[in-house]
Structure formats: structure tokens, C-alpha cells
Amino acid sequence: MTSQPMPRRIALISVHTSPLAQPGTGDAGGMNVYVSQTARRLAARGVEVEIFTRATSSSDAPVVAAAPGVTVRNVVAGPFEGLDKQDLPAQLCAFTAGVLRAEAMHSPGYYDLIHSHYWLSGQVGWLARDRWGVPLVHTAHTLAAVKNAALADGDTAEPRLRVIGEQQVVDEADRLVANTDTEAGELVSMYSADPGRIDVVTPGADLDCYTPGAQEEARRVLGLDPDETVLTFVGRIQPLKAPDILLSAAAPLIARARESGRRLRVLVVGGPSGTGLARPTALIDLAAELGITDAVTFLPPQHHDRLAFVYRASDLVAVPSYSESFGLVAIEAQACGTPVVAADVGGLGVAVDNGRTGLLVPGHAVADWTTALEKMLAQPDQLRAMGRDARRHAEQFSWEHTASQLLSSYSRALQSHAAQGGTASGAQALGRRAARRWRRRRTRMNV
């Protein structure tokens, strides 16, 4: 039996956010965790990983050894600070030049494969793929068409530039990695992607870090009252993630708890990001308007070791996002034995086992969220049972499993690439790719 081809070394491209950044700050979030965790797991299996990301500080070293077998290259492209994600398309030329120059320092064939994350990285990967004669695997993480179809009130739509850029990357990539079957379907229905080029690879959680533990100890570490009921939001503070839904839904429950002599607290962990930067105090102002300031605690983004205490300290973790390709927070919380109440959108239907490890809420009506929260909190025995099932459910989603699925996708990309001419370069190879692109676009136009 012929063994499947495996890459020796991959170039992993993550333009707008570094795996070294703290999730929950700026544009850093689940994608940072995904890139960092999968890179480490791949390296542990003998695949060298070099991650190209944009330098955001003059103090960033050009090259950082992030872990055994994992190197981060901080590419200078534009000013270190003051650039929003929307400004980065203008810096792609400079970033791509940095990537190509790094490869040019080595003998031809140094990288076996490119894996790009998010559409900006896909634009860079597309050019590097043609230059190096290697396959391109792309993970979108989020899709503009999906986000624009489910905008929060007052949020800003993703620009047409991004939609076009995503379409180009979908057309160009040798293989596309989707987090769930739902996302794979969106790639087909909204971007006319070839289903035969899509691999579904579920993200995971660090099951050694996120484990069940004593709630009382976790609350002591965080300085929380051991006798309060704690509802928690973890993530970037922006309309897309909808932390305001949790505050608004919890307000009447906080009032009822006060009347009965009990205490309910909302814990918000994260920092302003994206369109949330326009109103960085919006949640603080909302808590004041709702009259629940004294029942809301805000914490900055937490390192993963301390974040585990956040999950353990919570009675419930809420993920009310308007759009979520998967929902790492939901898996991390469940890995710690904490049930989750989440919006029934995107990949959250996979991340949460509805009725067994948490509850999925259709839509974002505040009254529906109040009802869902109240229903779960009113049944403490069932809540504890959900917590036990939550850990067992989360154990299906490990980064080791994700790495195995990625290696299978890489193998398919390498096999397909070899069948189409291998490492051929120049006009002949570019001509074949141009022909494939034309066939895809003509098919899409005829649909």
C-alpha cells in the first residue's frame, strides 16, 4: 500500500493577527488559538512550520522560535501601529515581498505547501503558490457573505473589497478547509466553491489546559463571591459577538434575584475589537442604563491558564454571537465542565450538544435569551448533569484530532498537485492554473 504524501515543511500565513498575540485583544481571537495550537501539533509530528505574520511593534524580533519546530516570522509591512484590519489590503504587496524574500534565501523547494488563514493571507498565499510551485490550502475562518447576512443592529457590513477578495481565494486555492459541514455548504452556496476541493476539519480545545475543577477555588483565584450565580461572556467586545444581548437578558434575572435575597453576576472577559473600538465603553454604559453596574464585572483578556479558572468559576457561559464559524469558547467552557447557552448560528450547533451540554437559542431576541437563561438556572441538578456531559462532549474536539485532519487535507493537496504537474513552474504551470480558474468562473457564471 502506497503511503500518503506528507509535507516536510509548510509556510503558514496569518497576515493580520499573530499566534503570539493575546486572544481577546485587538483582532486577536479564535484564529490566533487555532494557528498556534495546530502549528504546535503539526510540529510535534515532524512537520516544520514557519508562520508569517505582520509585525505590529518595533520591538518584534524578525524571527521568533515559538515552540520546537515552530518559527514565527514577523514581516514588516506598513507602520507598526495604527493600522486597522480594513487598512491591510494596501500593505499586502509589502507583506508578500517579505514572504517571497524569506523563501528566496533558501534552495528551491524549501516549502512543500502553503496554508493561509483568512482572506488577506489567502491573497498572499495565492501569489506565493504560483511563485513556488506548491499547493495552497486555505482556511477562511469567517466569511463576509455570512457575516453580512446576519449583522447585529448598528454593526458595519464587511466591504465589497473583502467579498471579491474571498471569491478570488476560493477560486485559486487547491483545497479549502471548513470548520463544519455548515461552513462547507456556505462556501458552495455563497462562493460557488467546488465541493470536491473542500475538507471539513473541526477545531478543538487544549484538553490538558481546560479541565474541570473546583468552582470555589476558581472564584477565589478570580476574586468572585462563592455564593453568587455567575453568567459569563468570553471574547472580543464587538457587536458581532453580542455581549450586549447577555447583559440585557440578564438584567431582569438580576432584579428578581435581588428581590429574593440571591445574587447573580455577569462576568465579561475580553477587550474592545473591530467595530467595537468606536464605542469602547458601550457595555459599561449599557450596564449603567440597565441599572446592573454593581452586578457586572469586567476583566481584561486572560492567558489560557487563567481563562480555565474563568470557565470553572462560571455556572453558565454564554455565546450569543450573530455569526460564528465554530465557537472555540463554547468548547473550552464545556471542556472545563461548564454548560453553554449559545445562539443557534454557524458552527455553534456542532460545538454545543443542544439539550445535553447546553442550550441553543434561535435568534437574538432578548426575551428569548432571558427565558433560556432562567430555564437553565432554575434546574441546578440538570445543570450539573449538563456539566458532566459537557466535558465528555468536548473530548471529541482535540487539537490532536484537528492536526490529523489537516494532515489528511495536506496529503490530498499534495497528491492533486503532483497529478497536475508536480513542481512544474513557469508559463506552462501558470497556463494550466489559468485554465482551471476560467473553468471554475465560467461554471459559476452559468449557475
Write the pLDDT tens digit of every residue in 41-98. Answer: 999 999 999 999 999 888 999 999 999 999 999 999 999 887 878 889 999 999 999 9
Average pLDDT over residues 348-372: 97
Domain-embedded: residue 107: yes
Q: Please say if the pLDDT value at position 1 is more than 60.
A: no
Judge if 163 and 24 occupy the same domain: yes
Average pLDDT over residues 385-408: 97
Judge if 259 and 383 occupy the same domain: yes
Q: What is the pLDDT of residue 437?
A: 58
List, as residue ranges, the binding site.
Answer: 16, 22-23, 27-32, 85, 118, 142, 162, 236, 241, 302, 311-312, 314, 324, 332, 338
Question: Is the CB of residue 312 less than 8 Å from the CB of residue 216?
Answer: no
pLDDT in tens, 227-273: 999 999 999 898 999 999 999 999 999 999 999 999 999 999 998 87
CATH code at position 362: 3.40.50.2000
Judge if 21 and 166 occupy the same domain: yes
Domain-embedded: residue 326: yes
Domain-embedded: residue 304: yes
Q: What number of other Cβ atoms are within 10 A of residue 257's Cβ?
A: 18
Judge if 196 and 285 occupy the same domain: no
For the chain, the average pLDDT equals 91
Which residue in 397, 423, 290 sits closest to 340, CA to CA? 397
The residue among 358, 379, 395 that closes a domain is 395
Relative to beta strand 136-139, strand 48-54 is unpaired
Domain that includes residue 36, residue range = 9-204+399-445
Judge if 140 and 261 occupy the same domain: no
Domain-embedded: residue 4: no
Judge if 316 and 296 occupy the same domain: yes
Domain-embedded: residue 3: no
Whole-angstrom distance between the N-terminal and C-terminal Cα of the chain?
40
Average pLDDT over residues 269-294: 88
Q: What is the pLDDT of residue 277?
A: 72
Judge if 180 and 281 occupy the same domain: no
Judge if 191 and 102 occupy the same domain: yes
Q: Please say if the pLDDT value at position 276 is more than 70.
A: no
What's the CA gap between 339 and 337, in Å, rounded?
7
What's the CA gap between 113 and 169, in Å, rounded?
16
Average pLDDT over residues 417-429: 64
Domain-embedded: residue 342: yes
Judge if 271 and 388 occupy the same domain: yes
What phi and psi, each to the nearest 5 degrees, are found at residue 319? -125, 85
Domain-embedded: residue 338: yes
Q: How many folded domains does the chain comprise?
A: 2
Judge if 195 and 319 occupy the same domain: no
Domain-embedded: residue 209: no
> Which three cell numbers mark 329?
469558547
List, as residue ranges, the binding site for UDP-N-acetyl-alpha-D-glucosamine.
Answer: 22-23, 30, 236, 241, 302, 324, 332
What's the CA gap between 275 and 279, in Å, rounded?
8
List, as residue ranges, the binding site for Mg(2+).
Answer: 311-312, 314, 338
Average pLDDT over residues 307-334: 96
pLDDT in tens, 144-177: 999 999 888 878 899 999 999 999 999 999 999 9
pLDDT in tens, 94-116: 999 999 999 999 999 999 999 99
